[in-house]
Structure 1
């Protein structure tokens, strides 16, 4: 059989597994809250793997190795910033958000939590937050479509649009039928595939080299990839040479984005109890560090592998985001290579499915239910959410037909938008009792506008837009909150209840969360 036939067999097996998980989830999804948040029943392993897989997307296996391959270790500042940000998110946001979102009117989306937390009767906070989610996630989903098309080109030498359509179609199918439970469990499987693939591929590539120790010096003085002027990339292994302080700060600033990513923090809201955030943190950060190390060595080893193997062609010679795919295809039997290559599909599909579902929930839960006065049945809400998933996928696919930016560029734009608009508001909602609706709205709008304006200007070449966006959003949020009316006694009491509940569960992991929540609510 041809290589492509083996690849197709592997991918069909993988996609069937994803659809079967979707069907299994469909059988367990009876209520609207189940479709949107899995009944707050995720165990810490699934939550951690799901958060990691939906976070990293095609960027981990395609965008990051490509950037490291082209530029060098100066791109590692992004990975450092992300690791710190992910740890801080699990440490400070996860347990408090899990307890607070349930106490605050059992909020199942981020916009609904903001509204319930601050008692915003105008509904403006919820609507603006939902609109921001829809705008930025459309770009984010589009980046997944682009990655799917590139994947198909590299693996099969096939048509970009056909690949994009197939990857998007299967993702939409299991998201459509299974909802949040399907998304979370498929993400856990996909995260496991990504983990082992990022270990196996660089290890096998390393042992395939004639002189493996060349990886520590080759790129500094030899031509490879885009460097063809006879001197290589002299600063390849330096994290500070050829990069400004502003660029380092901007790359580290990627970590700030974690606090405001709806598709990540929603996993915290779905945990069984706040206490399980600790175990989730250990699993999630361990997974992340090992995966980032694997992606880094994929890039380093590729500088030697492709230069010393003239017949080994790199499919993507623009951003070099296909090197992981190309290595897997060349190093393994086609069936094994096909199974490894599903890691990229896993990364792409896990993120797309999460984003599709969160965006659909914002359209239905945070816009439709706000403007429609009549209550809708559980079945109607689920069907509307499913229809929304399809519509969003079509819009994102239209944007991805002629991509004008790299995967990393599209992800970076959306990541900064969410981090700037939502990050300060989430942290303040959980840790600053003086926050009010006026401050939250002002900060959210400021973060979104500054992020977009800065990102579309030449200033983005100097400093990543999340830094000014996050900083200005925080300043405006604090100033407006202090200049306007203080929160009511009801809001302050609920804040203290949520804080006490998170502390009680953290100090005693065996305490019954439901009983503790009920007891504290009565006392307040």
Structure 2
């Protein structure tokens, strides 16, 4: 725990820069395109850093780093997925088509892109409502990650830390729109890159070098707790036993849930519409790839190696040191293992990660409620004070996310992230991919896919997937049993069931209904 005048000065300077960038964004926000899609003239390098900083939050660093502390380096497969799917496929294939179609249809949000492609106010309104209702869960766990580190580092009460983070982020998002968000994201992304690079270097120095550190961790395999070993845990440098409950959790929920779900994240997809041309997207890949590798790879490696440090210094593995709350592993490790000067730097790194993701989430939730649901669905496109309604939507979802940050249970960050990413994949991905790549997809097919993906995912979460179904208790209340299915099904993530089902429904219904008029297809695809 640290408390120095130097820290106060550094944080003050950092916040002054953030608010300056927010004010810059406010001054440049004159039209609705400025507020929603940053005027479509964002520099590719700012795009790459903003995308990466939005994608990688305290959820990745604190939540998934903590999960690696418990489950081991098998999570590095998620880093591979993040680069291949979240950067290469997202930018090169989805990004270019999203940018072009968004420009042709004059769409300024992700739900509006889908709604205009399929000529459906229902799709736009339902998508906006879905984001407004469920994204606060994601925002809430990002708040938890940032607040837990501030709590552990400065000794500030957790509840106070949540409020401080919220007020700071809300101040520049509500006023400055997406321009302010992307400017501040870029700065915060640079802080994050430096902080994680230093963290990795100091960790290996602390443990005697790369080879020594990994050999020590491998030799600790006999120390895996009986409860984890029974679930298939084979050590922190090995994948869990194939087909075991922990293997299914690691692969289907954490690796595939987030690795595939990233393609359908509204707050990320909208960034493709902020640049002028495809060349800017290709340039962004060169920055985004190394950035994501550094952010996720370091978090997963350090989280796993924290076991070696804690066993060396306290004779305990990481989960035991933090009393079972995996969300505290990274904060505890940083404060115990790192020099005080670095703790200050890393606190800024975590603040940057939390603030960059939160700002994008709040902006996306606000535009989904104000623009997509209220203006386009409720008011049927009536011109009005959309920006003001959007700002009200931001304020409302901020309040909900703060409440969730207070009431959600321990060790929730990684799991809640995977829940939201998986829900987005099931609800949006088949429809989004069809919108971009398959002109034959119809409005009816897209609508069916959206509804089936959404409710199949929620059903699986509430009635089959044990991690959520058991604590929710809905299935127990209605049917008298914890889950409707038993055995392996209870550890299979909803993304592996709901997303293929939504895709099949999209294809079948599209072929059963009349094709979209040719003139609209030409408008969408430029053919």
Query: Is TM (by shorter chain) over 0.5?
Result: yes
Determine which of 372, 377, 382 is the counterpart of 2:379: 372
Alignment of 1:71-470 (within 5 A): 71-86=71-86, 87-104=88-105, 106-120=106-120, 123-209=121-207, 213-222=211-220, 227=225, 234-241=234-241, 244=244, 246-247=248-249, 248-250=251-253, 251-310=255-314, 316-330=322-336, 333-370=339-376, 371-372=378-379, 375-376=382-383, 380-404=385-409, 406-459=412-465, 461-470=490-499
Would the aligned equivalents of 1:60 and 1:292 in 2 still touch at CA under 8 Å? yes
Normalised by the length of structure 1, the TM-score is 0.87
**Secondary structure at 1:318's aligned position in 2?**
coil
Q: Which shifted more, 205-214 or 12-21?
A: 205-214
Alignment CA distance shift 1:458-1:5 (3 Å): farther
Alignment CA distance shift 1:496-1:28 (3 Å): closer
Q: How many residues are treated as equivalent by the alignment?
A: 493
Alignment CA distance shift 1:211-1:80 (3 Å): closer
Alignment CA distance shift 1:419-1:39 (3 Å): same
Would the aligned equivalents of 2:56 and 2:295 in 1 still touch at CA under 8 Å? no
1:312 Cα offset (Å): 11
Alignment CA distance shift 1:69-1:15 (3 Å): same
Q: State the Cα deviation string for residues 208-262 of structure 1 (Å, max 9, x = none).
A: 2357643223334448998499x9x752211253654755355335322122100
Match of 1:478 in 2: 507
Alignment CA distance shift 1:457-1:156 (3 Å): farther
Alpha-carbon separation, structure 2, partners of 1:465 and 1:483: 27
Q: Does 1:494 align with 2:523?
A: yes
Alignment CA distance shift 1:212-1:285 (3 Å): closer
Would the aligned equivalents of 2:68 and 2:301 in 1 still touch at CA under 8 Å? no
1:119 Cα offset (Å): 2.0
Alpha-carbon separation, structure 2, partners of 1:39 and 1:363: 21
Match of 2:470 in 1: none
Alpha-carbon separation, structure 1, partners of 2:226 and 2:304: 17
Normalised by the length of structure 2, the TM-score is 0.86
Would the aligned equivalents of 1:145 and 1:400 in 2 still touch at CA under 8 Å? yes
Q: Which shifted more, 422-431 or 11-20?
A: 11-20
Would the aligned equivalents of 2:56 and 2:296 in 1 still touch at CA under 8 Å? no
CA RMSD, 1 decimal: 2.8
Alignment CA distance shift 1:114-1:222 (3 Å): closer
Would the aligned equivalents of 1:76 and 1:239 in 2 still touch at CA under 8 Å? no
Alpha-carbon separation, structure 2, partners of 1:164 and 1:389: 17
Q: Which shifted more, 305-314 or 429-438?
A: 305-314
Would the aligned equivalents of 1:235 and 1:241 in 2 still touch at CA under 8 Å? no
Alpha-carbon separation, structure 2, partners of 1:225 and 1:317: 16
Match of 1:63 in 2: 63
Alpha-carbon separation, structure 1, partners of 2:10 and 2:243: 42
1:311 Cα offset (Å): 10
**Secondary structure at 1:485's aligned position in 2?**
coil
Alpha-carbon separation, structure 2, partners of 1:124 and 1:397: 29
List runs of 5+ in structure 1 lacking aligned partners: 501-524
Alignment CA distance shift 1:492-1:376 (3 Å): closer
Alignment CA distance shift 1:77-1:283 (3 Å): same
Alpha-carbon separation, structure 2, partners of 1:226 and 1:173: 45
Alpha-carbon separation, structure 1, partners of 2:398 and 2:352: 17
1:37 Cα offset (Å): 1.0
List runs of 5+ in structure 2 lacking aligned partners: 467-489
